[in-house]
C-alpha cells in the first residue's frame, strides 16, 4: 500500500488518508489497506484503537441520507471509503466536554475510475457518523467493533441544534436540497435525537472528551 498523505480535518481527530492507484491502459490496481503500512505511520493516537473486526459494504441510491449513527459496548471506529460514486461523509462530535461538541464536519468523497488515488476517512469513537449521496454510490468501511444493536443510537441529521460552522456552506445547502426533494431516509434516522436530547441521556456519558482519544 502506498500512502501518499494523512491529513487532519477541522476536528483533528478526523483523518483523511490518501493512497495511490497505479494506472495504465488497462485500468488501475491499488492496495487500499495493509496493516503494516498503517502501523508504520507517525501518529500513534490515530492507530491505537485496535484491530478491525467487521467490514461493511453499502450501496446507496442518489438522494439517500444515512446517519448519524454511533455505538458503545463495544465502541466502533470506522475507516470509510467510496468505492464508486459520490458520497459526502459526515462526522458529529458527541464527546462531552469536547471543544467541538455538537459541531459537524463534512468531507467530499468522489471516486471515479480515472482518479490516480483513493481516500479513506477515519471516524473514531466519540463521533456520530453519517453520509449523504449525490450519485448512486458504493462505499466500504472497516469497523473496530462488531455491531451491537442494544448499544447504539443516532442523532437526526435534521436536528436544529447541530453546529455547521466548521463546514463549507455548500454542504449544508446540498443536504437541505436533498431533504426538500424526496430524500431516501429511514424514519429511524429522520427521528433520531437532537444533540441536546442525547446529551441529557445517561448513555451520553459513554463518550467523554479525552486528549488523543
Domains of the chain from N-terminus onward: 3-206 (2.60.120.10)
Give the per-residue pLDDT at 43. 62
Find the distance separating the first CA and the last CA of the chain, reported in whole Å. 26
Query: What distance in Å separates the CA atoms of residue 37 and residue 209, rounded to the nearest whole number?
Result: 28
d(C-alpha 130, C-alpha 70), whole Å = 9
Binned average pLDDT, 10 residues per bin, the chain of 213 residues: 88 92 88 80 59 94 97 94 97 97 97 90 96 97 94 96 96 94 95 97 93 54
Catalytic annotation present for 209: no
Q: Please tell me the predicted confidence (pLDDT) of residue 1.
A: 80
The 8-class DSSP code of residue 134 comes to S
Q: Select which of 69, 129, 141, 193 is catalytic.
A: 69
Question: Is 107 noted as a catalytic residue in this protein?
Answer: no
Out of 132, 141, 142, 193, the active site residue is 142
d(CA 157, CA 11): 18
**pTM reported for the whole predicted model:** 0.92
What is the pLDDT, as a whole number, of residue 213? 43
Residue 138: strand pairing partners:
59, 84
C-alpha–C-alpha distance, residues 169 and 32, integer Å: 31
Amino acid at each position: 500500500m502506498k500512502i501518499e498523505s494523512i491529513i487532519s480535518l477541522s476536528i483533528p481527530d478526523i483523518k483523511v488518508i490518501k493512497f495511490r492507484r497505479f494506472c495504465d491502459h488497462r485500468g488501475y490496481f491499488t492496495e487500499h489497506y495493509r496493516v503494516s503500512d498503517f502501523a508504520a505511520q507517525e501518529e500513534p493516537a490515530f492507530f491505537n484503537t485496535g484491530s478491525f473486526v467487521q467490514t461493511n459494504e453499502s450501496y446507496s441510491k442518489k438522494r439517500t441520507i444515512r446517519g448519524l449513527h454511533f455505538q458503545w459496548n463495544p465502541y466502533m471506529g470506522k475507516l470509510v471509503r467510496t468505492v464508486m460514486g459520490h458520497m459526502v461523509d459526515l462526522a458529529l462530535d458527541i464527546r462531552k466536554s469536547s471543544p467541538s461538541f455538537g459541531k459537524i464536519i463534512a468531507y467530499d468523497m468522489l471516486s471515479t475510475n480515472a482518479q490516480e488515488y483513493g481516500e479513506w476517512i477515519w471516524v473514531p469513537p466519540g463521533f456520530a457518523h453519517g453520509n449523504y449521496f449525490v450519485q448512486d454510490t458504493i462505499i466500504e468501511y472497516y469497523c473496530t467493533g462488531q455491531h451491537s444493536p442494544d448499544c447504539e443510537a443516532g442523532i437526526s441529521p435534521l436536528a436544529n441544534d447541530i453546529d455547521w460552522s466548521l463546514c463549507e456552506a455548500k454542504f449544508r445547502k446540498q443536504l437541505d436540497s436533498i431533504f426538500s426533494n424526496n430524500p431516501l431516509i429511514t424514519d429511524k434516522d429522520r427521528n433520531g435525537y437532537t444533540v441536546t436530547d442525547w446529551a441529557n441521556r445517561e448513555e451520553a456519558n459513554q463518550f467523554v472528551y479525552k486528549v488523543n482519544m
